[in-house]
């Protein structure tokens, strides 16, 4: 693991790191904030998955999470959103919603993407093992959150591994990718045309099929330009209600899809996570 940068913040250390990933077959970059902590203490971990076009840098630079993480004693990990580098396939049309920066947190099975686009394995297996080995992380106390495409990733990973994550939250998530243009394009391109396969990577479908979480927190801005066509928050509300899934899903008046929105509610989300990560 190569250290690209470290900076002191709120008594802790914000670092950016790069390593050779076996899952993706590429170099991957991620950021980690380690709050001040007692010598030898191992701390709970919050994973943050970013949205379309983003890297680790968006939330690291604009998410305003460090003060709360320092106070609450939370390690905050932000991975990239796709593999990158020479030989990594991209959308031949050059669009922003597929290919580089748009891995959708799945393991691709379709050529040419299957060679490198293995973000599910990277996020759920490889990166946690690396973080546990190199940082004072207590993997018995994990939670996950994300934004937009990363909200989709956080919801689907949380629903798949409910015993691993004590808390799951999202900002403006793509809740039903199998029913919206962004998701239909990505899931078909990465996983093929069999829509039954897509259900494992669709939060609404997972809830309909019996997956459950202890609790869920979602914030969505009602001025978000992607709400009606791509995010479709009411589908998640309906699925949770029908399944009896405990959830707090809030429409926030006047907020859009940006980090102005995310940073406004980041502190509240982290405190909600912190409450659930306390204890053995």
Tokens of 231: 């995010």
CA gap 144, 157 in Å, rounded:
8
Report residue 102 CA to chain centroid gap. 12
Is 275 in the active site? no
Q: Is the peptide bond before 112 cis (omega within 30 degrees of 0)?
A: yes
CA gap 239, 102 in Å, rounded:
26
Question: Of the residues 148, 169, 219, 269, which is catalytic?
Answer: 148
Is 148 in the active site? yes
Give Cα separations from 43 to 17, 33, 75, 223 (angstroms).
19, 11, 7, 36
Is 37 in the active site? no
Instruction: Name which of 97, 106, 226 is nearest 156 in CA terms.
Output: 106
> What is the Rg, in whole angstroms, of the alpha carbon atoms belonging to the chain?
17
| β-bridge mates for residue 34, sequence order | 13
Question: Of the residues 107, 202, 219, 224, which is catalytic?
Answer: 224
CA gap 33, 190 in Å, rounded:
31
Secondary structure of residue 44 in the 3-state scheme: strand
Sheet strand arrangement including 27-34: 2-9, 12-20, 27-34, 75-79, 43-49, 137-147, 165-171, 217-221, 248-252
Asked if 128 and 139 touch (Cβ cutoff 8 Å), the reply is yes
Tokens of 77: 């990990």
Tokens 């030898």 sit on residue: 40
Question: Of the residues 56, 116, 257, 273, which is catalytic?
Answer: 257
Report residue 10 CA to chain centroid gap. 24
| β-bridge mates for residue 14, sequence order | 7, 33
Tokens 């990158």 sit on residue: 84
* Active-site amino acid positions: 148, 224, 257
């Amino acid at each position: 693991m190569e250290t690209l940068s470290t900076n002191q913040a709120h008594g802790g250390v914000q670092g950016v790191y790069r390593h050779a990933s076996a899952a993706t077959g590429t170099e991957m970059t991620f950021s980690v904030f380690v709050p001040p902590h007692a010598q030898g203490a191992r701390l709970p971990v919050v994973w943050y998955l970013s949205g379309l076009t983003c890297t680790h840098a968006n939330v690291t630079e604009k998410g305003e999470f460090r003060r709360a993480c320092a106070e609450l004693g939370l390690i905050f990990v932000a991975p990239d959103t796709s593999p990158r580098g020479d030989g990594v396939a991209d959308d031949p049309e050059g669009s922003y919603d597929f290919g580089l920066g748009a891995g959708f947190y799945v393991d691709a099975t379709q050529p040419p993407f299957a060679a490198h686009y293995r973000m599910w394995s990277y996020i759920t297996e490889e990166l946690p093992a690396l973080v546990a080995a190199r940082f004072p992380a207590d993997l018995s106390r994990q939670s996950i959150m994300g934004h937009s495409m990363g909200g989709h990733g956080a919801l689907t990973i949380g629903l798949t591994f409910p015993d691993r994550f004590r808390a799951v939250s999202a900002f403006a998530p793509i809740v039903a990718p199998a029913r919206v243009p962004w998701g239909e394009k990505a899931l078909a391109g990465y996983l093929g045309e069999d829509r039954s396969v897509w259900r494992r990577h669709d939060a609404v479908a997972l809830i309909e099929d019996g997956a459950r979480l202890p609790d869920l927190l979602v914030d969505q801005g009602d001025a978000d330009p992607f709400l009606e066509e791509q995010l479709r928050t009411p589908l998640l509300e309906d699925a949770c209600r029908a399944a009896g899934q405990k959830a707090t899903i809030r429409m926030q008046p006047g907020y859009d899809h940006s980090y102005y929105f995310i940073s406004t509610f980041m502190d509240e989300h982290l405190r909600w996570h912190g409450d659930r990560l306390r204890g053995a």
